[in-house]
Amino acid sequence: MKLFVVTSVGFLLAVEALALKPVYFQQPRAERRTAHIRQVTTIPSRAARVGLDLCPTCIDFTGQAINTLLNIILNAGVVGTCGELCQLLEQKTGSQALGAVCDILCDVVGIEEFIKLIEKADLDPIYFCELLKVCPIFDNGDAKITMLSVTPSRGPQGTTFVVDLEFVSKNGTGTGQIDLEILAVDGLPLGDAFLNKQSPPGTYGLKFNIKAEPDPNCDPTQQECEQWLPGNYVVKVAVCNGECGSAHPHSKIYDQNSTNFTLTG
């Protein structure tokens, strides 16, 4: 099994050097609370990491910036150069890092094609970065989940539940996601999705920590807050090519499975 440990939620992308905050994929369903989920292992790649890896950098950037870019394109009229578009993005977000990455990616194809691809991607970061040709496309991939468990299976509020996932790929996987969803007792949507870079054939393992306690930073006047009530919680996991649930090309669910844990009173 191929495992290695990371020290923060999700993936530590190369773009951290540019001070971008990690962003997590939100499914085109209801917004999901992610504060309680921590990935403690991730999927390695045999490719050597030299300099800035544009695929995860592009996906991370797009997840943070695509809505703002679409609004700029719709409201600003004609934008003549990559520099003008990316400067507007920097002004709107207050982030020099986003502006810098915007310049890098826009220069790959030029301003006209960059704008066309933003509109065509329809809020799908992986598809956009594949259209931009900075993320590899591999449609003959596969994955079969061979193990999914939660430890401990029962515990009181405050328990950290560890989700163990293992899957096998005979042909390798394309650029995609590992999607984790929790069906909570109170019906609030919980979950997250993590980048799965194109990987060779092999057996892969991941671990996720789920802290079953109310989020102290959740403001009940602004949104419903997960209370982690006693009862049964279903954990659903999917391994996907492209964004899980996307209708765009180069997207499919390789495999999915579910398990559960019980929160005691």
109-137, pLDDT tens digit by residue?
A: 999 999 999 999 989 999 999 999 999 99
Q: Are 258 and 235 in contact (CB under 8 A)?
A: yes
> Which residue is associated with the tokens 């092999």?
202
**Tokens, residue 183:** 């069906």
Under CATH, domain 14-48+143-217+226-264 is a member of which superfamily? Immunoglobulins (2.60.40.10)
pLDDT higher than 90, residue 48: no
Q: Are 237 and 148 in contact (CB under 8 A)?
A: yes
Starting at the edge strand that comes first in sequence, how are the strands of the sheet with 37-39 ordered?
Answer: 37-39, 202-211, 160-169, 144-151
Going from N- to C-terminal start, the domains of the chain cover 14-48+143-217+226-264, 54-131
What count of other Cβ atoms lies within 10 Å of the Cβ of residue 75? 8
- This prediction's pTM: 0.80
pLDDT tens column, 151-208 = 999 999 999 999 999 999 999 999 999 999 999 999 998 999 999 999 999 999 999 9
pLDDT higher than 70, residue 47: no
C-alpha atoms less than 13 angstroms from C-alpha of 80 in its C-beta half-sphere:
0
> Is 117 buried (19+), middle (13-18) or exposed (0-12) by CB count in 10 A?
buried
pLDDT tens column, 65-106 = 999 999 999 887 778 899 999 999 999 999 999 999 999 999
Name the range with the highest mean pLDDT among 12-16, 35-39, 189-193, 233-237: 233-237
pLDDT tens column, 201-244 = 999 999 999 999 999 999 999 888 999 999 999 999 999 999 99
Alpha carbons 83 and 202: distance in angstroms, whole number: 42
